[in-house]
Structure 1
Amino acid sequence: MNLKRIALTGCLTAGLLLSGIPWSTAAHADTTLGLVKKGSGVTATGYYTQNGLPLGGTPVFLTVTDNTGHIYHADQLTTDKDGRYQFLWTMPTNAPDGTYLAEVHIQGDVEKRPFTYSSGLNHGGAILPVEDGPYRFTGELNNGAKQAVVYDSTTGLSYSTASSYLEGASVNASVDQWKASNQITSATAGTTYLTISVPTDTLVNTVTVPGSVIRQMATSFGNSAHLLVATKVGAFDLPLDAVHSSLLDNVKSKSDGALIISIKRVASDISNALSKEYQALGTGPLPSLLPVEFGLSAFYNGQKVPVTDFNDRFVRCSIDLTGTTLTDGAVQSAQFKQPQTGRLVPTPSMLFRDAVGHGKIVVTRTGTGLYVPVENRKQFDDTGWTSMEDKIHFLAAKAVVSGKTPSKFDPFGPITRAEFSTLMVRALGLSDKQGSSRFYDVPNGSWFTDYVNIGSSLGLIAGYSPSQFAPDDSITREQMAALLARSLTYVQTRPYVDTTRVLGQISDASEISGWAREDVALAIQTGILPNSGRLEAQRPASRAESVDMLYNLLSYLKFL
């Protein structure tokens, strides 16, 4: 069955009016209609609240018509106790490709929004645009979390636009402290996000959020408070606890305090200056897309303090891929421009595509910076005899791992402690961190020095002693499992592991070193270390096994 699909470009907003009675729109009563794929159909969901209270039992009507007014779908229901409604439908097979109109009717008010309907299942790899409307698509970051939204003058967003030869169209947006705070305090229970949706078609975006709004977020949303800024070129999801407490306290307490977020697609000359880096990767930027730079500053007492590092807190942002076409079989990722060297290095990133053809690259990293969206594919001639072939090619396309030569990976060859430490730090996007160590056998200037020092300073790696690392020794399977388990714990809270029970399933568990038992058990429980019933803890790991375990870690962390 050739299922047809629909793409909603924007959202629907409806106020409160009683049919036939000249009431004015009630404050803070609105609903949004968003579409996602649900099985073989499409689901439309939204919430309806007034002054922060859910309006359960309210009739909601949905109609879908073409440009002649012919109805292709109609449905009705009532909101649940949380003010939520949900429609599920599939467009009929006789509906031609084209533009349709979705209408939401609530309490006599009607709001309309066009959407595109086409029969293509993957749109030929083309990324469809999100309309420049009041409420941008942000599902790649907040994953359905409840949010208060600021997107126009009524909800508290004002902006001015300008244009320059170098940067093109730009916008400076500011948030009204009273209106935005009202949005926060009237949000439904369980809300954790304040989303600022910039409704302009601009490549350079700067958004200023007053300290009083940040303070209200912390009060109302607690430790889970997130500030999300969504623009045409990308979105930035900032957990407030990622900002150093002293900076955040100054922003919240000073009369001029503010957080300033910038999201901009950089000029073509910056991309062109990276040509040697593209050559080194064996690829180039995705067609029609330029790098995107994300910035954050804390402002207080008349000073602007750039925030480029979030210590050990991983923060996500997304790059909009509208206007490009993805190549079938290629791997899409983002490369980070390392500020110290200007080199492009891998960073945790994944392709996100929704059910209707919108696409983003989601980046997860412990800082801000400039990211280049790329696609690549890698093949090696000697990986066909290993079950890890697909993982090797995937991580090679992301520039996380490389072969011994352009055509040979040497999957069964050994890997040294220095080599794996370097791979791990690069894969986690930590290569711009600062680090030091006291290892006498890690000299300054070696290709692995910075990576070993970073891993040591962050507690990810350890030597045979405080002064000896043995970089040229082959890394054993238990050593590799321990490094990856520590990496998992660095990124997120360490899960509980019943070490005795887990290792009880391993026939040669007695060979595991005492210092490694808990980390090995964690690696087995989380699927980082495949459990075949036998570990061979002291055996040197192969290059293919290192890719397998590293891929499993990144997959567990949702970094791929």
Structure 2
Amino acid sequence: MKKKAGSITFASLALTALLSLSVAGSLYAAAAPFGDLGTTEGSDKIQSLHSKGIIQGMNAQSFAPKAPLTAAQGIQLIAGGFQFSLDAIRFIQEPKAAQVFTKVLDGQWYTEAFLGVYHNGVPVPEDIDPASRLTRELFTFLLVRGMEQAGSLPLINVKPSGIADESSLAPEYQGAVVRSLKYGITRLDSSGRFDPKREISRGEAAVMLYDALDYLRQHPAPAAADNS
């Protein structure tokens, strides 16, 4: 169906170019139009991402930081943040959402993002519902896997996490959650809890994306060897 050679390299190059224009600069490189951020934690990071065109609001004036993040919105965040697309992947046939997903429809505003993220190596659940609200553990899993793919991050030795509610984590998300703590893109609360089943808000997700991009800026992927 497809040939993926070069796709991750392309994404890494695109991400490198994006990082040089985004989080590496001042948080206030350009004013954001959102009028509803108020005292939202990390509002400066949300403004920075929007001013660089990495994230979009519900409309020109509103980001709705406290609103729950849907799967479609979360996948769009990851696709835009890490520059995942189908551009560098050669397909024998045009990729269709129905070939991969059971609930993601073709021809929708979110379709290209789902296909781009999936075909760039992020294991998006095949039964994901674009309209569903993402939990903190699922968004963290998808963000971390996208971050690791885009940045060609080396495998790290995951040590015991000390998460007070670790037993509440889905086993398939546990490793990514622990790594997210090491990368500094998530934090435990004052009781040492991760609260994995809580629905994540748009504001929290955007701040996590900013911190993931900042980590990649500080830990750039090694240059590919020239075998010519």
Same fold (TM over 0.5): yes
Residue by residue over 1:207-238, the C-alpha shift from the partner in whole angstroms, topping out at 9 and shown as x without a partner, is xxxxxxxxxxxxxxxxxxxxxxxxxxxxxxxx
Deviations 1:469-528 (A, max 9, x none): 21110011001111111112212233413242x2x1x22111111111101101111111
Instruction: Provide the residue aligned with 2:226 in structure 1.
Output: none
Tell me, in whole angstroms, the C-alpha distance in 2 between the residues paired with 1:429 and 1:550: 12
Structure 1 Cα separation of the partners of residues 84 and 201 of structure 2: 24
CA–CA separation in structure 2 for the residues paired with 1:446 and 1:395: 24
Distance 2:22 2:170 in 1: 39
* 2:75 counterpart of 1:415: no
Secondary structure class of the residue paired with 1:552: helix
> Could you tell me the TM-score, scaled by structure 1's length?
0.33
Aligned to 2:56: 402
Choose the corresponding residue for 1:377, options 23, 31, 37. 31
Q: Does 1:349 align with 2:20?
A: yes
Q: Is the 8 A contact 1:411 1:543 kept in 2?
A: yes
Q: State yes or no: 1:545 paired with 2:204.
A: yes
> Please, which of 473, 477, 488 is the counterpart of residue 132 of structure 2?
473
Pairing 1:450–2:148 present: no
Highest RCO, 1 vs 2 (Cα 8 Å, sep ≥ 6): 2
CA distance in 2, matches of 1:441, 1:382: 32
Unaligned 5+ segments in structure 1 are 1-308, 319-333, 335-346, 354-360, 362-374
Consecutive unaligned residues in structure 2, runs of 5 or more? 90-94, 221-228
| CA-atom RMSD in angstroms | 2.7
- How high is the sequence identity, in percent, across the aligned residues? 26
Structure 1 or 2: larger strand share? 1
What is the DSSP-based 3-state SS (H/G/I as helix, E as strand, rest coil) of the residue aligned with 1:539? coil
Cα distance change of structure 1 residues 445 and 317 upon mapping to structure 2, 3 Å threshold: closer
- Alignment partners' CA distance in 2, 1:379 and 1:454: 28
| One-letter code aligned to 1:454 | G
Which entry has the higher C-alpha Rg, 1 or 2? Answer: 1
Contact 1:523/1:529 (<8 A) preserved: yes
Partner residue, 1:315 = 13
The change in CA–CA distance for 1:381 and 1:521 in structure 2 (over 3 A counts) is same
**Residue 427 of structure 1 corresponds to which residue in structure 2?**
81
- Which 4+ stretches in 1 moved above 6 angstroms? none
Mark the CA change 1:405 to 1:315 in structure 2 (over 3 Å): closer, same or farther: closer
Tell me how many residue pairs correspond in the alignment. Answer: 199
Answer whether contact 1:416 1:474 (CA < 8 A) is retained: yes
Q: Write out aligned runs for 1:146-545 (5 A).
A: 310-313=6-9, 314-315=12-13, 347-350=18-21, 376-433=30-87, 434=89, 436=96, 437-463=99-125, 466=126, 468-490=127-149, 491-500=151-160, 502=161, 504=162, 506-532=163-189, 533-545=192-204
Using the TM superposition, give the Cα deviation of residue 456 of structure 1 relative to its aligned residue in structure 2, in angstroms.
Answer: 1.4
Cα separation, partners in 2 of 1:498 and 1:454, compared to 1, 3 Å: same
Greater helix fraction, Structure 1 or Structure 2: 2
CA distance in 2, matches of 1:462, 1:401: 20
Deviations 1:364-410 (A, max 9, x none): xxxxxxxxxxx743142221221111011001101111222222211
TM-score, normalised on structure 2?
Answer: 0.77
* Cα distance per residue 1:219-274 (max 9 Å; x no partner): xxxxxxxxxxxxxxxxxxxxxxxxxxxxxxxxxxxxxxxxxxxxxxxxxxxxxxxx
The SS at the match of 1:493 is coil
SS at match of 1:439: coil
Q: Which residue of 2 aligns with 1:96?
A: none
**What's 1:226 paired with?**
none
- Aligned pairs for 1:108-127 (under 5 A) are none
Q: CA deviation at 1:462?
A: 1.8
